[in-house]
Structure 1
Amino acid sequence: MDFLSGNADIEAGFQHLCESVFVGLCQIVGTSALVAIRRETEDISESLRRRVANNDDEIIMESGSSKEGFRLTGSDYDLMYWPNNHRVIWDMSQFEYYFTATKTLILSDNIESPPGFTLLVLLTPTADRRIQSACVPVNDRHYISSSLFRQQAQTHHFPGSRVHGPCESGELLGVLEYDFAKCFASDFWPQSASSWIHRSHSWPRREVVDDIVRNGCHFVPIGHPAGLHEHEEWRISFSMAEHKLVHFMNHCQFLTFGLLKIFLKEVIDKQSNETKKLLCSYHMKTLVFWVIQQNVVPLWCPRNLLAGFWVCFKVLIKWVYEGICPNFFIPQNNLFLSKIHGSAQRSLFLQLNGLYEKGLVCLLQSSSIKSYIKCVLYNPRLSICTNEDRMKSECEHDIELFNAISYNGPPLTCNLNSCIKVLHTIGQMIGSPLSEYQILTLQKNTSDILQIMAFIFQNMYTNTGLNKPMYIADRRSCHMLKLAGKFGFVSDMMYIAMFYYKTFRYREALFITETVKVKLAQPGLMYGKYVNQERYTEAVGGQSWSTKMRQAVADNIKLITCICYNNELTLEQQCAFQYHKDALFIPLFVMLHFVEFLCYRHIDTTLAHAALEELQFLVHHDQGVFVPEHHRDISWEILGICHQMTGNLQAALDSYQQSLTQFPFNRIQNATEMRIHDLHIT
């Protein structure tokens, strides 16, 4: 900033302020280590999913701020998914790269479309009825209508979802907004973005550019409002390229991007209702890309953080004044064109200019940042440590890591050959250069796949009447589950208990549940994000992550909807499967008491009653620690099942009705209604 030059005291004070804001952003956005955990665990899981995907599978990619490494309050959860057996080509010469018996080809026709948009022509037949229904015949060609495709692609994965832009959008529990975009992929880089390849000299590096170009782009179903064919056009998406660019920012650049997102939400959007939401996070991302590439900021470091922010802010004001926000890959695509113009544009410019005239004091309007600014203003001699290793405790890093590992599970499948393929692929990946976070993620993925395989084996040979194959399958399943329990979470031992109950070994199952209860009673247990940090550090501090995972980390129980784990929940699994749910998620402590109740019913009715009372107390009185809010539907359901099995039909009815009032995360409402109907209570 020019006003700092020549004045050593002011410059030192400014650097002090930058360091304080840097520390604050590391607390809010995350240190470089936390961001690396989020990215690397997701990247390795995504790589595994792609490697094992069959031709007729859908490829799923997390996108948006979560993929980039942010965990800001109010951030969206974004997914892109596309059919693996469909590809978009840019000209007919690319036809030769595909075997059309296995790949449906689509041609991009952007002659009449605005920059960044295109029409899609179906070249070869498709078996996908949703795509067939979205086709519009024009002059002997079949164009895939983006508006029709959006309607056909809606899965209603969660209740209350709606079409918003190119996505199916909604809100979970009034807290988490989500966007699911079904799209198409191209293995080729668009010609209209070729200028970006040659423009990239200083940033990003040439090998990064080459990698981005090799991975092509995507097409999301939304047309340009000013285009001639708005309802048929598709937008070219560079989401995958953008993720790579964000990943190749240094941490100060990433924090500057985070500061811009916070400033947009907490300051710019609070100026007036007229201009609220005119700017979005994507504009901020585009802004940072341009500023980094144009090398306007000579040094991106903690002591220069606010200078980088201020440069970005000035460029943003210039863009709003001119009404032009050039897409980073196709500059001719003006991201402001249909949104920021007329009186709204003038109002937004005046508001931004007003903030600019206040200088960095305008950051005091940010509720998240102001305390880090004030602490320096009020204590100019305050010593600030910018060493990231000292900003977060060992336990805080572990919480981030184990929750990321739990979230980034293996591809869910109920096919034995697919499971074997996953294990084989994990074996190949372990031999490649990986970070410690990624190795640990694959270790947990292996544990999860072994559990799935164990129940598949058991289900394959049940009721065959062939004793020897059943005996062999049982031994294999037991071995797999015990192996999974040795290098998975503490909670993974519950799958052994579930297996023993399913195979009528009630006492063995209860021995396992007692072992699990002892482990769960440890004061240093980490369950999701709930942990006594001091006790956790005393118990496993300084030990390897693998040891911590086996001894002190627990998670919810995941039941794949197409695999039978126990007969009591078959109805719920079937109903969830009809809503395209891959798995039921059950709180660990609910499943623990449920298995105890089921086993004790065959051994000791008094102890069965005691287990039911424990379950009832947990479901009725837990404050979201051991029974998370989004898992209350299945928790009340299980309590109702237990009451129904004891003959207490009124208590069962009350529990089922409670289940129906919860957020239907597991999509088991139909099962609940069927159980209520079967009670025959008037």
Structure 2
Amino acid sequence: MEFFSLRIFKGMQRMSESVFVGLCEIVGTSQLVALRRETVDIREMVKRRISPNLGIIQMLSGSMREGFRLKGSDKDIMFWGNNHRVIMDMSQSEYYNTANTVLILSESSESPPGFTLLQSLTSRITRTIYSALVRMNDRAYISSSIFRQLTVSLIFPNSTEHGPCGTGIVGNLEYDTAMCFICDSWPSSASSWIDRCHAWPNPEVVHDIVRNGCHFVAIGHPLGIHKNEEWRISFSQAEYKLVYSMNHSQFLTYGLLKIFLKEVIDQQSEETNKLLCSYHMKTTVFWVIQKNILPYWCPQNLLTGFWVCFKLLLKWVYKGICPNFFIPQNNMFLTKINGSAQNRLFLQLHELYEKGLACLLHSSSIRSFIIDVLYIPRLFICTNERLSEVQHDYHLVHESDFGALFSYTTRLTEVLQTERLLKTVEQLVQLPLTHYQALPLQRLTVAIFQSLAFITSNRYTYTGVNKQMYIADKLSCHMLKLATKFGLVSDMLYIAMYYYKTLRYREALSVLEMTKVKLAQPYLMYDGHVDRERYIEAVGGQSLSTKMRQAVADDIILHNAICYISELIPEQQSAIQNRETILDIPVFVMLHFLEFLCYRHIDTTLSQAALDELQVLVHHDQGIYIYDLHREISWEILGISQQMAGNLQAALYSYQQSLTQHPYHKIQTATHMRIQDVVSQLNN
């Protein structure tokens, strides 16, 4: 009997190890998860340091902040005014300068646990807050329902309400944006959580969480007497710090529960597939870890951890009680999981429970990792988490992109603001940064140099004789060349753009030719596409800076506040009118576009050849070189080129095609203007 039990135990261990390895492939290794988290952290650190007092702060939250990149996951972002603060009692007002800070008082005496009213204390408030004020007991309170209606489409137009958020889809990505308020203090209603933290998390994490306070999001308790005015206390910041403090087995257990919810629980019936959510899974893991039900979390007992969590979830559904991790009195099942719905859900979960761990066979993602062990009992399972070099490089480059960071500044066209950004980077590089944090700063520095080069150049008209212009030109060229030493292969196109802008067409073509050779290499890494073997053969083992400079390309980002080339000014102005801050142009589209523009002044035959290459690319690409969201700007650029070449019918077709694509860049105004221009020329 003991031998039989030992065999079962070892079989469970092997199965757990197999699922652990499978989850590392699906969710990510500890190395990859750390990479994602640390690059997000450094991006937000920079954004907050450069944000003006009157600016808006943003924080990535939810599963993407925690380190997940699961297929179908949405992107949760919280926004709040930098000069707005919620205080828990009036005595805290002395810590703020009321001349430049809008103070809001939390009053929770009449609200259910986890919810509160927010009283406006100052007369100097934003128009949005003023419009959301309601009077109760001769006091002015901010109505969560009105505030939510006013801000639901503030970040992304045409968003719809989803809880406290505005939700929608951009391309293939679903987003949730929440306009909220921040409080620097830890709420007294969550003080019991501090006292519970004996074994987990450790005191340093607890102190960091408490020191950073909480947020308030615009949704009231459905059963509250002031449900339209109440706000929910959000612990999103605390939650991602708790997830950060998990070991990788705990994190993968959380990931397994998310997958199990989506692929198994939610597939049971349409009646119950919206009752449980990922937040309930996270809460379950938090409670199991803190209660120390499973003393040792490792790859060998990952399935044991999953089963303990599943049993706790089943118990909660049976009782109809899911205690919030920070405020246990807040029952998160109260309004959704009760009555007949609760009974149906419990029966479905209990049926899965009776199957034991075989219930995981219903998961399409996990099934194969269990079957491999069942049918090949001697299968060797390696739990080594080391990323392949190619995978590591791709994720590090992809995650470290600052994207539209510059749009976060007040006025990029002011050199002073950009210098402030540089100073922030200079301060941050003095800190003990990890490898994953250093690369984003390197890429940010490259982007700053590129932007400063064009900002400096735009202050002068290029004539070739003015001394100040000559000095500015030398400085701009130096910054762009310096940027290429630390940037990607594609960053050379900024030099070509600058040479074209300053009428040096042969110099631009020389740079384009060098760039074209590098972009044609079979080992190039671009937009997730790479020949792994050739990449390793060409640059394997070299420093990441060398790899980036020789074998990695990315899209060309044009900040709409800066003029790069005059041919795209209408598109940039159209985007600005629609609050879009950048144009994101596929690198090969920009390469052929610049070739066409430069050759127009030198060789009409070669100019037509470049246009032909651009046309073939835009017409026939299957998502390899042009991402779906970038087809709008790609068709537009093809149309501009065709119109300049005098092929008006082709240009008209291209512009019309641009209008049929997803309006990612918000350039429709420019497209309609160009269509009118082409039609006018055709009629003359």
TM-score tier after normalising by the smaller chain length: over 0.9
Structure 2 residue 393 is matched with structure 1 residue 398: yes
Assess if the C-alpha contact under 8 Å between 1:320 and 1:349 holds in 2: yes
Quote how far apart the aligned CAs of 1:490 are: 1.0
Assess if the C-alpha contact under 8 Å between 1:573 and 1:584 holds in 2: yes
What's 1:431 paired with?
430
Quote how far apart the aligned CAs of 1:113 are: 1.2
Mapped to 2, the partners of 1:290 and 1:5 lie a distance apart of 34
Mapped to 1, the partners of 2:662 and 2:207 lie a distance apart of 45
Mapped to 2, the partners of 1:465 and 1:10 lie a distance apart of 82
Assess if the C-alpha contact under 8 Å between 1:90 and 1:107 holds in 2: yes
Give the stretch that moved more between structures: 671-680 or 636-645. Answer: 671-680
Mapped to 2, the partners of 1:140 and 1:171 lie a distance apart of 41
Quote how far apart the aligned CAs of 1:561 are: 1.3
What's 1:358 paired with?
355
Quote how far apart the aligned CAs of 1:662 are: 0.7
Q: What 5-or-longer segments of structure 1 have no aligned partner?
A: none
Structure 2 residue 84 is matched with structure 1 residue 89: no
Quote how far apart the aligned CAs of 1:566 are: 1.2
Match 1:107 to one of 83, 105, 123: 105
Assess if the C-alpha contact under 8 Å between 1:252 and 1:300 holds in 2: yes
What's 2:281 paired with?
284
Q: TM-score, normalised by structure 1?
A: 0.97
Amino acid at match of 1:646: A
Structure 2 residue 466 is matched with structure 1 residue 471: no
Amino acid at match of 1:314: K
What's 1:194 paired with?
191
Deviations 1:119-142 (A, max 9, x none): 111111345222222222334422
Mapped to 1, the partners of 2:469 and 2:277 lie a distance apart of 59
What's 1:262 paired with?
259
Assess if the C-alpha contact under 8 Å between 2:186 and 2:214 holds in 1: yes
Assess if the C-alpha contact under 8 Å between 1:158 and 1:665 holds in 2: no
Give the stretch that moved more between structures: 400-409 or 566-575. Answer: 400-409
Distance 1:156 1:576, change over 3 A: farther
What's 2:651 paired with?
652
Give the stretch that moved more between structures: 455-464 or 39-48. Answer: 455-464
Amino acid at match of 2:284: L
Mapped to 1, the partners of 2:161 and 2:41 lie a distance apart of 28
Distance 1:4 1:290, change over 3 A: farther
Mapped to 1, the partners of 2:154 and 2:83 lie a distance apart of 23
What's 1:593 paired with?
592
Where in structure 1 do 4 or more consecutive aligned residues deviate above 6 Å?
A: 3-6, 463-466
Distance 1:159 1:644, change over 3 A: farther
Q: The residue matched to 1:676 in structure 2 has which SS?
A: helix
Mapped to 2, the partners of 1:21 and 1:326 lie a distance apart of 29
Assess if the C-alpha contact under 8 Å between 1:406 and 1:555 holds in 2: no
Quote how far apart the aligned CAs of 1:617 are: 0.5
Deviations 1:608-662 (A, max 9, x none): 1111111100000111111111100000011111111122221111001101111
Q: The residue matched to 1:388 in structure 2 has which SS?
A: coil
Give the stretch that moved more between structures: 258-267 or 572-581. Answer: 572-581
Assess if the C-alpha contact under 8 Å between 2:489 and 2:549 holds in 1: yes
Quote how far apart the aligned CAs of 1:461 are: 2.8
What's 1:37 paired with?
35
Instruction: List aligned pairs for 1:172-191, cutoff 5 A.
Output: 172-173=170-171, 175-191=172-188
Amino acid at match of 1:262: I
Distance 1:5 1:462, change over 3 A: farther
Amino acid at match of 1:400: H
Query: In the comparison of the two structures, how many residue pairs are matched?
Result: 677
Deviations 1:188-215 (A, max 9, x none): 1111111111111100001110001111
Assess if the C-alpha contact under 8 Å between 1:159 and 1:664 holds in 2: no
Quote how far apart the aligned CAs of 1:678 are: 2.2
Amino acid at match of 1:600: Y
What's 1:149 paired with?
147
What's 2:270 paired with?
273
Mapped to 1, the partners of 2:677 and 2:627 lie a distance apart of 28
Q: What 5-or-longer segments of structure 2 have no aligned partner?
A: none
What's 1:560 paired with?
559
Amino acid at match of 2:393: D
What's 2:384 paired with?
387
What's 1:308 paired with?
305
Mapped to 2, the partners of 1:395 and 1:407 lie a distance apart of 21
What's 1:48 paired with?
46
Amino acid at match of 2:416: N
Q: The residue matched to 1:590 in structure 2 has which SS?
A: helix
Mapped to 1, the partners of 2:202 and 2:619 lie a distance apart of 57
What's 1:26 paired with?
24
Assess if the C-alpha contact under 8 Å between 1:186 and 1:218 holds in 2: yes
Mapped to 1, the partners of 2:523 and 2:462 lie a distance apart of 43
Quote how far apart the aligned CAs of 1:458 are: 1.4
